[in-house]
Structure 1
Amino acid sequence: MIDLRLLRDDFASVATALARRGYDRDELAALRHLDERRRALVAEVDRARADQRSASKGIGRASPDQRPALIEAAAERKAEVARLEQQLTEVEAEHTRRFAAVPNLPHPDAPDGDEGDGVVRHTFGERPHFDFPVRDHVELLESADALDLARAAKVSGARFAYLKGEGALLEFALVRYAIDIAMRHGHTPVIPPVLVREDAMYGTGFLPTDEQQIFLTRDDDYYLVGTSEVPLAALHMDELLDEDELPIRYVGYSPCFRREAGTHGKDTRGILRVHQFEKVELFSFVHPELADDEHERILSIEQEVFTGLEVHAQVVDIPVGDLGASAARKFDIEAWLPGQDAYREVTSCSNTTDYQARRLKARIRRQDGDNLLVHTLNGTALAVQRAIIALVETHQRADGTVVVPAALQPYLGREVLFAR
């Protein structure tokens, strides 16, 4: 949630910033008016309650002949309090609902534009060239019985997969490889819950804006997370962190679930865009002054992961029109996938500033006695299925085998995959 004090005190700056994201200025003005109405009602309710208390005390001090009139007046004040409280309840509900849909203010350095307008910061890794017909990951994995899409569709429907044999071992190796890199950079490993309550989804900004992408259990009102960012961020919900505790850094591993609503027919072959996948996620709680540096730091860890996998990729600064609601700025790493002859996103990292912390009520107790909101950042160290695609397509050989990058060999225990 954005800072309401900033909206009240500097409406023009907030409106200009959100206009970069396509947010309507008139809607923002209406929200400012709603906020003023809520604050005015709070004051009215407080005054009405004070009048009611005063009237009630007056009854006990009044003479018998004065009491009937005072009792009637106290009853009227009680009714007025109830009426104003009902108004305040309704206005506060609307206030919460509408402000929850307002996205974060974009970072001043984030590029303008919409999807497809990202700015390439740099590339890394050697782009592969082949002197034989290139196979995509489905052909490579299925021919080695490392992937079974047909049986997964029979069991669970479209956009599910079985990873088998060397496919499953490749996942385990990749996960530990990425976690070890994150640990070397000071991140504590965490296995978080993947069923969370609404407060956690709301607190991280996935509700209400991403509701179409989220699976919800039928009877228990638990949400299945689309990323372990959610439980990692909520780990310090409603907490006051000491300033000297920061930075707090985690690396979480979890299955993730997304409905992929609105993407019918797009990238549906294989395991690029599935309903269930696994991720190694980086998450940091930092002092506001260090958030930009931490963002670059998380990006450097992601790049280290894919450099070690010897994959060619580009780093893209995502435009404001393509940011998620909570992000002020986001960097993606897009790996070159030979089977698609195109770059595809394999990681992202976002600076959410104080947007999530305000919803989660995660604050810093400063040494000078003041409290302020912590800043949160997240990044995908490794999205397993997409990393598998990039790896096997990049390192394939003419006979259908795949060379294992040197950095991954200690984790996998072999130099070549799919050798018969």
Structure 2
Amino acid sequence: MIDPVLLRENPEAIKQSQAARGDSVELVDQALAADVERRASITDFENLRASQNTFGKRVAKAAPDEKKALVAEAQSLAAEVKAAGQRATDAEQQFLALVGSIANPILPGVPSGGEENFITLREVGTRPTFDFEPRDHVELGELIGAFDLQRGAKVSGARFYFLTGIGARLELALMNLALQKALDSGFTPMITPTLVRPEIMRGTGFLGEHADEIYYLPADDLYLTGTSEVALAGYHSDEILDLSEGPYRYAGWSTCYRREAGSGGKDTRGILRVHQFNKLEMFSYVLPEEAEAEHLKLLSYQEDLLTSLGLNYRVIDVAAGDLGSSAARKYDIEAWVPTQDTFRELTSTSNCTTYQARRLDARYRTESGRTAPVSTLNGTLATTRWIVAILETHQRADGSVLVPEPLRPYLGGLEVVEPLNGRRP
């Protein structure tokens, strides 16, 4: 939720953000009008209730012959107070519905526009070249026994898969490498729930325009999470955090579920865009004035890992219309996939400023003793999709794959993954 004070004092900034996102500018004026109505109705209710209290004292002191008429008047006043209270409640709900529909105001410098309007900040590494016809990750995965797509579809349907043999080992190696990076960087490891209550999913901002991406279990009124960000954002909901000694940093390891609605025909071959995958997600609770610096730290941790794995990648500043409602700025890192002759997203990291914290009531105590919302940030540190870029980048002519050096300690020192040549994984 946006800051109501910002809405009242600088609505033009919010309108500019809405316009940059391609969202409704008129919604800002509607929220302003609802805020005026809300505050007026609350004032009316409080004035009537004060009058009721004063009148009640008068009734208590009245002579017996006056009380009958005064009691009737008190009952009439009580009915007015009740009606005013209901009007205030209705106005509050209307305001919250409108202001809750306004996306997080973007930070200065975020590019306007949609998915294609990102700005490339840098490209790192050298694009791999081959003196043979490179295989795509599906063919490579089948050669080395890394996954089984056919049986995944047989068991669970399209976009499901089994990671087998070296594929399962590669994923665990990636996740453990990332976990060590997180530990070295001061994160507390967490294995999070993958089912959350509606108020937590709603609080993170995931039940907006992309709600159709989320699996829902109506019998239990629970949602399957598409990222451990959701559970970690809810971890400190309705709490006051002590940030005097620095940010709270968590690394959440979880299985993630996404319906991928509306993405038919896009990146559907292999394990690039699937319904279930594993991910290690960084999540930080910080003071608002430290959020932008924290964002760059999360990005640097991601780059450290991708560079160490020998991948060619670019960092992009995501355009406003592609941020999602919660992020005020998002950086994506996209790795070069040789057989697709393009970059594909491997990580993202978002600065959600105080948007999620306001919705989930995660606060800190200021120097004045009052409470204020914290800022929250998130970023992927490893996920199943990375296997795609690793296989295609480090493949060799005979179908074998060179194992990046940082992964070797987690694979028993294995340097090269050889084709199975008919053997079972």
TM-score (norm 1): 0.95
In structure 1, the residue matched to 2:44 is: 44
- Residue pair 2:243, 2:286 contacting (<8 A) in 1 also: no
Q: Deviations over 1:273-317 (max 9, x none)?
A: 111111111111122222111111111100111111111111111
| Residue 167 (structure 1) shift | 0.9
SS in 2 for 1:116: helix
Between 15-24 and 246-255, the greater mean CA deviation after superposition:
15-24
| Deviation digits for residues 108-142 of structure 1 (CA, Å, limit 9, x no counterpart) | 02122211111111111221111222211111112
Q: Which residue of 2 aligns with 1:53?
A: 53
Task: Indicate the SS of the match to 1:237.
Answer: coil
- 1 CA distance for matches of 2:180 and 2:418? 25
1:197-250 Cα deviation digits (max 9, x unpaired)? 122112212123432111111211111111111111222212212231321211
Matched residue count = 419
**What SS does the corresponding residue of 1:346 show, helix, strand or coil?**
strand
2:244 aligned counterpart, secondary structure: helix
Contact preservation (8 Å) 2:208, 2:325: no
Q: Which moved more, 1:87-96 or 1:174-183?
A: 87-96
Kept in 2: contact 1:243–1:367 (CA 8 A): no
- The alpha-carbon deviation at position 69 of structure 1 amounts to 2.1
CA-CA distance at 1:390 after TM superposition: 0.6
Equivalence map 1:296-311=2 (5 Å):
296-311=296-311
Residue 42 of structure 2 corresponds to residue 25 of structure 1? no
Cα displacement (A) at 1:13: 2.7
- Contact 1:242-1:366 within 8 A present in 2 as well: no
Deviation of 1:348 (Å): 0.4
Structure 1 range deviating more: 305-314 or 65-74? 65-74
Counterpart of 2:142 in 1: which secondary structure?
helix
Map 1:283-322 → 2, pairs under 5 A: 283-322=283-322
Q: Which moved more, 1:215-224 or 1:170-179?
A: 215-224
Corresponding letter in the other structure for 1:330 = K
User: CA contact under 8 A between 1:146 and 1:168: conserved in structure 2?
Assistant: yes
What residue in structure 2 maps to residue 197 of structure 1? 197
Shift, 1:146, TM fit: 2.3
What CA distance in whole angstroms lies between the structure 1 residues aligned with 2:98 and 2:223? Answer: 22
Contact in 2 for aligned 1:100/1:208 (Cα 8 Å): no
Do residues 406 (structure 1) and 396 (structure 2) align? no
User: How many angstroms does 1:58 deviate by?
Assistant: 3.3
Other-structure match for 1:158: 158
Aligned positions of 1:72-151 closer than 5 A:
72-151=72-151
Q: Which amino acid aligns with 1:103?
A: A
Alignment of 1:172-187 (within 5 A): 172-187=172-187
In the superposition, relative to structure 1, how do residues 280 and 334 fare at CA in structure 2: closer, same or farther (>3 Å)? same
The residue aligned with 1:219 is 219
Question: Which residue of the partner structure matches residue 388 of structure 2?
Answer: 389
Q: Which stretch of structure 1 is more off in the superposition, 125-134 or 165-174?
A: 125-134
1:2-23 Cα distance to aligned partner (Å, 9 max, x none):
1111111222232223322223
**Contact 2:352-2:375 at 8 Å conserved across structures:** yes
Distance (Å, rounded) in 1 between the aligned partners of 2:402 and 2:198: 44
Aligned residue type for 1:396: Q
Matched, 1:254 2:241: no
CA distance in 2, matches of 1:204, 1:4: 18
Partner amino acid, structure 2, of 1:389: V
Tell me whether 305-314 or 18-27 shows the greater mean CA deviation. Answer: 18-27
1:355-410 Cα deviation digits (max 9, x unpaired): 111112222223453433221111111122x1010101111112211110111111
Q: Secondary structure at the match of 2:116?
A: coil
2:237 counterpart SS class: coil
Whole-Å separation in 2 of the counterparts to 1:91 and 1:331: 38
CA distance in 1, matches of 2:370, 2:63: 51
In structure 2, distance between residues paired with 1:58 and 1:370 = 37
Runs of 4+ in 1 over 4 A off after TM superposition: none
**More displaced stretch, 112-121 vs 325-334:** 112-121
Instruction: Give, in whole Å, the separation in 2 of the partners of 1:267 and 1:115.
Output: 16
One-letter amino acid of the structure 1 residue matched with residue 169 of structure 2: L
Task: Check the 8 A contact 1:173/1:408 in 2, yes or no.
Answer: yes
Q: CA shift at 1:335, angstroms?
A: 0.3
Q: Give the structure 1 partner of residue 345 of structure 2.
A: 345
Alignment check: 8 A CA contact 1:251 1:281 kept: yes
Give the 3-state SS of the residue equivalent to 1:167 in structure 2: helix
Give, as a single letter, the amino acid of the residue that structure 2 aligns with 1:400: G
Whole-angstrom CA distance in 2 between matches of 1:169 and 1:103: 40
1:268-283 paired onto structure 2 within 5 Å: 268-283=268-283
8 Å contact from structure 2 (residues 143, 419) kept in 1: no
SS at match of 2:266: coil
Runs (5+) with no aligned partner, structure 2: 421-425
- Asked if structure 2 preserves the Cα contact closer than 8 Å seen for 1:362 and 1:374, the reply is yes
* AA aligned opposite 2:393: T
After TM superposition, the score normalised by the length of structure 2 is 0.94
Kept in 2, the 8 Å contact 1:192–1:252? The answer is: yes
* CA drift at 1:415: 0.9
Q: In 1, Cα distance between the equivalents of 2:26 and 2:359? A: 24
Letter in 2 for 1:44: D
Query: Greater CA deviation, 10-19 or 196-205?
Result: 10-19
Deviations 1:173-215 (A, max 9, x none): 1100111112111111111111111221122121234321111
Structure 1 counterpart of 2:38, one-letter code: R
Contact 2:313 2:335 in 1 (8 A): yes
Partner of 2:423: none
Identity %: 48
User: Take 1:116 and 1:78, find their aligned partners in 2: how far apart are those partners?
Assistant: 59
Q: Deviations over 1:35-89 (max 9, x none)?
A: 1111111112222223333334433333333233222222212222222222233
Q: Secondary structure at the match of 2:50?
A: helix
